[in-house]
Amino acid sequence: MVRETRLHPDDLIAPLFVREGIDEPQPIGSLPGQFQHSRASLREEVRQLKDLGVPAVILFGVPEHKDAEGSEAWNPDGVVQLALQDLRDDHGNDLVLIADLCVDEYTDHGHCGVLDDTGQPDNDATLELYEQIAVAQATAGADIVAPSGMMDGQVFAIREALDETGFDDIAVLAYAAKFATALYGPFRDAVDVQIVGGGDRKGYQQDVANAREAMEEIREDIGEGADIVMVKPAMPYLDVIARARAEVDIPIAAYHVSGEYAMVHAAAERGWLDLEAVAFEHTLAIKRAGADLILTYFARLLLEELQ
Ligand code: PBG
């Protein structure tokens, strides 16, 4: 009766991977229970999640061919575009389709943009690629595009590109406060990404030490037209989520990322933690801190328990 916070299926967004050129789903070693899906197995997985009550999924693509610009990301026949069409065919308007918008899964160097002479992403040249991806994803049936590359001005550029092509009703979920954390490791296995030369994303993602700067990123993205802002990862940044909740009135999403999920699994496998109990505790804590929407690889487990 006196519980202040309750989890509901509508709080959850399931992150899913779809890989080009495979017939059978491939288990992801560092993310137990998660798969690189084929187009067919993705459809089946989403059907089941939908039956369990998930309101939305977010798709990540693993292309067969990577290149310097990540051109498969905006190919109309690219794997995410085809998967969006499949899911739109299967679910009509009964499921919210979100597409992660970035090039790192598609570039042969693993950075989130096209590189300049110094080997770092060229911010403004990258914005042009993001605009093309947004239009390709919207054309394929995305309801929401979710730019995750942390280039300056990405929300504004994407908003403008969508508006100019008649997609003014497509929403932007901005990865606004995305930290350069050590917790994305398992995800990079999931999408076969190695950053060239052992590099990192500290040039464009947020310093893990900075909460005030994260708030500035959130305010900037809202100013550029974001409909939803995201804090990522979630558990080590509950202070940022709470601060964002106190300051902004648009929906806030939080991403319980691959490393957060993998840690819980690794400990549970050894019998050191109760997987289900910790999954609920983490997710509830993220909601208590102020997130309206939680992206989590635990979505299926939570949904099953919430039935
Ligand atoms: C970039 C992207 C990343 C994640 C989501 N989008 C990885 C990165 O920035 O290196 C990480 C998600 C996770 O760890 O679960 N396209």
CA-closest residue to ligand 1 atom 6: 148
User: Whose CA is closest to 215, among 258, 260, 256, 179?
Assistant: 179
CA-closest residue to ligand 1 atom 10: 184
CA-closest residue to ligand 1 atom 2: 148
Q: Is the CB of 148 under 6 A from ligand 1?
A: yes
Q: Is the CB of 86 under 6 A from ligand 1?
A: no
pTM score above 0.75: yes
Atom of ligand 1 nearest to the CA of 297: 15
Q: Which residues pair with 173 in a beta bridge?
A: 228
User: Whose CA is closest to 152, among 179, 119, 176, 173?
Assistant: 176
pLDDT in tens, the chain (307 residues): 999 999 999 999 999 999 999 999 999 999 999 999 999 999 999 999 999 999 999 999 999 999 999 999 999 999 999 999 999 999 999 999 999 999 999 999 999 999 999 999 999 999 999 999 999 999 999 999 999 999 999 999 999 999 999 999 999 999 999 999 999 999 998 998 999 988 899 999 999 999 999 999 999 999 999 999 999 999 999 999 999 999 999 999 999 999 999 999 999 999 999 999 999 999 999 999 999 999 999 999 999 999 9
Is residue 202 annotated as part of the catalytic site, yes or no? no
CA-closest residue to ligand 1 atom 1: 148
User: How do strand 56-62 and strand 228-232 relate by DSSP bridges?
Assistant: unpaired
Note the CATH architecture for domain 9-208+218-229. Alpha-Beta Barrel (3.20)
Q: Residues 50, 66, 178, 287: which is the catalytic one?
A: 178
46, 146, 187, 192 from 84: Cα distances, Å = 11, 14, 21, 21
CB-CB contact of 254 with 291 (8 Å): yes
Is residue 232 annotated as part of the catalytic site, yes or no? yes
Given ligand 1 and candidates 187, 191, 200, 205, which is best to mutate, with the most ligand atoms within 8 Å of its CB? 187
Query: Would you kindly state where each structural domain of the chain is located, as residue ranges?
Result: 9-208+218-229
CA of 109 to the centre of ligand 1 (A): 15
CA of 184 to the centre of ligand 1 (A): 6
How many other CB atoms sit within 10 Å of the CB of residue 285? 16
